[in-house]
Amino acid sequence: MSENIFFDLNELKSCGKNVIIGKTVRIRYPELVEIGDNVIIDDFTYISTSLKIHNNVHISSGCKIIGGKKAYVEMKEFSTLAPNVVLSAGSDDYIGGIATPLVPMEYKGNAIIGTIILNKHCIVGAGSVVLPNVTFKEGSCLGALSLANKNLEEYILYAGIPCKKIKKRQKEEIVLLETKFKKI
């Protein structure tokens, strides 16, 4: 593991083997973050929510995984975030109340504190945004510069704002490659 100036690695809830964390990664609540084996978190990533990262996951540079202490994000095996992705497990509708994390919940408008789940073999393309309470079913992916505000179906590529189905992914090939990878 790398030395880090923005948080103490020993404060992580758990951290597996063969983990690489860039020196400029910032984790606001390290005690709420679990990291599996064979994980890379690239530089300039910011994490401010409860997060569970399973094995063989990559988070590219410039990603934001946000939502506060009560929100939750989970990235299962072989899931990937391309550069500059935002996973926002907490949000607001900005219609009423005070929309800032500096005030107690009773002063906020319609704050949404939720979850984001990326199941196995899910990919989020560069510059995309995922809103609270969205689940990517196994193998689903979101193309670059897209917005996910609803659940994504298994092994389907989505893109657009808001995202729409584009085409099916090759499930059999992906599963076969995973099997071969696990044998090495």
Q: Which residues of 21-41 are buried (b: 16+ CB within 10 A; e: fewer)?
A: bbeebbbebbebbebbebbeb
* Domains annotated on the chain, with CATH: 9-183 (2.160.10.10)
> What is the value of pTM for the model shown?
0.93
pLDDT of the chain, 184 residues: tens digit per residue: 445 556 788 999 999 999 999 999 999 999 999 999 999 999 999 999 999 999 999 999 999 999 999 999 999 999 999 999 999 999 887 788 887 777 787 787 788 899 999 999 999 999 999 999 999 999 999 999 999 999 999 999 999 999 999 999 999 999 999 999 988 8
In sequence order, the 6+-apart residues with CB closer than 8 A to the CB of 15 are 1, 9, 34, 35
pLDDT digits (tens, 9 = 90+) for 26-57: 999 999 999 999 999 999 999 999 999 999 99
Cα separation, 49 vs 32, whole angstroms: 7
DSSP secondary structure code for residue 128 in this structure: -
